[in-house]
Amino acid sequence: MKSVLFTLVIFLTIAAQKCKKESGADIPAGIQQKINEIKKEPKWNPPAEVFEYRYNDRRLFYFTSNCCDQYNVVYDEKANYVCHPVEELVVKEI
């Protein structure tokens, strides 16, 4: 029983370390500028969210909209518009 508990504690410790995200780490300047523009606005409901994805060796940033009747937007790492996905992106989050 002690070995199972010890293994579980080690596993959870490692998992928690791998799940930590570094805030602001290596965010491209154009994407950071878009984030800063959102921060200047009144608080959104639902809150703004930005997700980073890798798709076909491209680094993409998925910005949620501030209302249910507006499109979410995907930008590349140079802050160029890529698309307005019709469905939620179904790719593995980094």
Task: Answer yes or no: are the C-beta atoms of 63 and 72 closer than 8 Å.
Answer: yes
Query: What pLDDT is recorded for position 7?
Result: 47
If pLDDT is split at 50, 70 and 90, which confidence band does 6 have? very low
User: Which amino acid is residue 49, in one-letter code?
Assistant: E
User: What would the mean pLDDT of 73-84 be, rounded to a whole number?
Assistant: 95
User: What would the mean pLDDT of 30-43 be, rounded to a whole number?
Assistant: 96
- To the nearest whole number, what is the mean pLDDT of the chain? 78
Query: What pLDDT is recorded for position 88?
Result: 56
Query: What pLDDT is recorded for position 13?
Result: 52
Element containing residue 60 per DSSP (H, E):
strand 58-63
- Looking at 62-66, 67-71, 80-84, which range is the least confident one? 67-71
